[in-house]
């Protein structure tokens, strides 16, 4: 985890410098973990799952317009002007659960393309919504294997509780994500990486809102505010029905890091297409809220009181 270094041969000088360097490196480990937010999937999940037997696929394209200029001591490459790409297919297994996966790549500023890992996920929800169908509850679990150049720990996991609310033209979702490195110096140490979304349907196909993604560091000892990451995105969600059998959803956003650490400006897009469960319900593509903003691509709510359709972009 620590880059190779040369120590002066003089015993006094060498013994004085090495402990100081080791201490500085050790102090930087929690910060590095906090900055390791997922750059391939920037998405707030909703509490819905795909209907049994229905399929869909989403493409995630996230461009770091202003990022890190130098690689990390652990071997991660600079992020400035890197385009992170993920292809995410999913399948409804039962009425209450679905499975999905990610195939990731990165387009470097010099035009070269890197393989950037794979992920598998399982999402389950409570069979019904609560509070007069206003509140949904679900849980997403994920395992990942990502090259060290994009994730220093290589092996990782994520546990994502999901609470969402749909009320008239308003959609809100909170994902208090707990991430784990499964290898490396931070192995097994839970990291708090919450995400949240708030959106309002402008029409039956369009919603506008905001998304938040944070990196707070270890749950057992949060990082100082200056070392945390707080990305705030302005987002647009659009949903289009294709023929009555498919739904096309788009989630587009521009985000800025309100803290000083990590990537500063990021542009993200999710384009998803999926089978509808019925003539008016979508279960595939995910994107954001057009009628009820959220994680997966579903149908936006029409203006005014209306039954909550299934729509937001949900990564998982």
pLDDT-based confidence at 4, cuts 50/70/90?
A: very low
SS3 per-residue string spanning the chain: CCCCCCCCCCHHHHHHHHHHHHHHHHHHHHHHHHHCCCCCCCCCCCCCCCCCCCEEEEEEEEEEEECCCCCCCCCCCCCCCCEEEEEEEEEEEECCEEEEEEEEEEECCCCCEEEEEEEEEEEEECCCCECCCCEEEEEEEEEEECCCCCCCCCEEEEEEEEEEEEECCEEEEEECCEEEECCCCCECCCEECCEEEEEEECCCCEEEEEEEEEECEECCCCCCHHHCEEEEEEEEEEEEEEECCEEEEEEEEEEEECCCCCCCEEEEEEEEEEEECCCCCECCCCCCCCCCCCCCCCCCCCCCCCCCCCCCCCCC
What's the rounded Cα separation, in Å, for the pair 293 and 203?
12
Taking only the tens place, the pLDDT of each residue in 85-129 is 999 999 999 999 999 999 999 999 999 999 999 999 999 999 999
Report how far residue 113's alpha carbon sits from residue 56's, in angstroms, rounded to the nearest whole number: 25
pTM confidence score: 0.79
When mean pLDDT is compared across 20-24, 212-216, 258-262, the lowest value belongs to: 20-24
Query: In terms of C-beta density within 10 A (0-12 exposed, 13-18 middle, 19 or more buried), how is residue 251 classed?
Result: buried
pLDDT score at 19 = 40
pLDDT above 60: residue 25: no
Rounded CA gap, 122 and 100, in Å?
7
- The residue behind tokens 């009555």 is 244
State the pLDDT confidence band at 262, using cuts at 50, 70 and 90.
confident
Q: Tell me, what's the pLDDT at 72?
A: 80
Residues 43-68 have pLDDT tens digits of 999 999 999 999 999 999 999 999 88
Query: Comparing 16 with 87, which gets the higher pLDDT?
Result: 87
143: left (phi over 0), alpha (psi -120 to 50) or beta: beta
CA 37 – CA 31 distance, rounded (Å): 11
Q: Smallest Cα–Cα separation from 300: which of 233, 245, 244, 250?
A: 250
Tell how far CA 156 is from the center of its chain: 14
Q: Which residue has the tokens 């990486």?
A: 193
pLDDT above 90 (res 156) = yes
The reported pLDDT for the residue numbered 277 is 64
> What is residue 36's predicted lDDT score, i.e. its pLDDT?
52
CATH of 11-275, one of 3.30.360.10, 3.30.70.1140, 1.10.10.10, 2.40.160.40: 2.40.160.40
Q: 6 or 152, which is more confident?
A: 152
With tokens 């992020």, the residue in question is 79
pLDDT, position 302: 42
What are the extents of the domains in the chain? Answer: 11-275
Q: Tokens standing for 221?
A: 């000892």
- Does the pLDDT at position 10 exceed 90? no
Question: How confident is residue 74, by pLDDT bands cut at 50, 70 and 90?
Answer: confident
| Cα angle 290-287-96, degrees, rounded to a multiple of 5 | 100
Pairing relation of β-strands 97-107 and 83-94? Answer: antiparallel
Q: Is the pLDDT assigned to residue 230 strictly greater than 80?
A: yes
At residue 132, φ and ψ (nearest 5 deg) are 60, 45
Structure confidence by residue, pLDDT tens digits, 295-307 = 355 434 444 444 4
Instruction: Report pLDDT for 133.
Output: 93
Model pLDDT, residue 3: 35
pLDDT reading at 294 higher than 70: no
Higher confidence at residue 257 or residue 225? Answer: 257
Higher pLDDT, 296 or 10: 296
Is the per-residue pLDDT at 282 higher than 70?
A: no
227 pLDDT tier (thresholds 50, 70, 90): confident
Q: Which of 102, 171, 213, 125 is nearest to 311 (CA)?
A: 171
């Amino acid at each position: 985890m620590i880059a190779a270094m040369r120590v002066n041969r003089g015993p006094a000088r060498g013994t004085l410098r090495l402990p100081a360097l080791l201490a500085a490196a050790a102090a930087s480990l929690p910060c590095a973990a906090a900055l390791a937010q997922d750059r391939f999937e920037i998405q707030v999940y909703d509490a819905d799952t795909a209907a049994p037997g229905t399929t869909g696929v989403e493409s995630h394209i996230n461009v770091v317009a202003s990022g890190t200029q130098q690689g990390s001591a652990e071997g991660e490459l600079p992020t400035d002007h890197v385009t992170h790409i993920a292809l995410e297919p999913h399948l409804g297994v039962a009425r209450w659960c679905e499975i999905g996966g990610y195939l990731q790549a990165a387009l470097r500023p010099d035009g070269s393309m890197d393989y950037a890992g794979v992920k598998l996920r399982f999402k389950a929800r409570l069979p019904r919504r609560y509070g007069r169908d206003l509140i949904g509850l679900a849980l997403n679990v994920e395992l990942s294997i990502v090259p060290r150049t994009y994730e220093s720990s290589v092996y990782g996991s994520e546990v994502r509780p999901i609470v969402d609310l749909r009320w008239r033209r308003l959609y809100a979702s909170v994902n208090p994500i707990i991430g784990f490195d499964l290898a490396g110096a931070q192995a097994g140490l839970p990291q708090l990486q919450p995400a949240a979304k708030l959106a309002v349907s402008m029409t039956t196909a369009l919603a506008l809102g905001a998304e938040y993604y944070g990196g707070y560091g270890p749950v057992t000892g949060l990082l100082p505010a200056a070392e945390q990451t707080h990305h705030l995105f302005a987002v647009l969600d659009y949903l289009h029905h294709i023929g009555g059998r498919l739904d096309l959803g788009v989630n587009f956003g521009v985000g800025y890091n309100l803290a000083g650490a990590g990537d500063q400006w990021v542009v993200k897009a999710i384009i998803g297409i999926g089978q509808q469960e019925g003539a008016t319900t979508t279960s595939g593509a995910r994107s954001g809220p057009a009628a009820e903003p959220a994680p997966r691509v579903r149908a936006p709510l029409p203006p005014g009181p209306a039954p909550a359709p299934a729509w937001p972009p949900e990564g998982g």
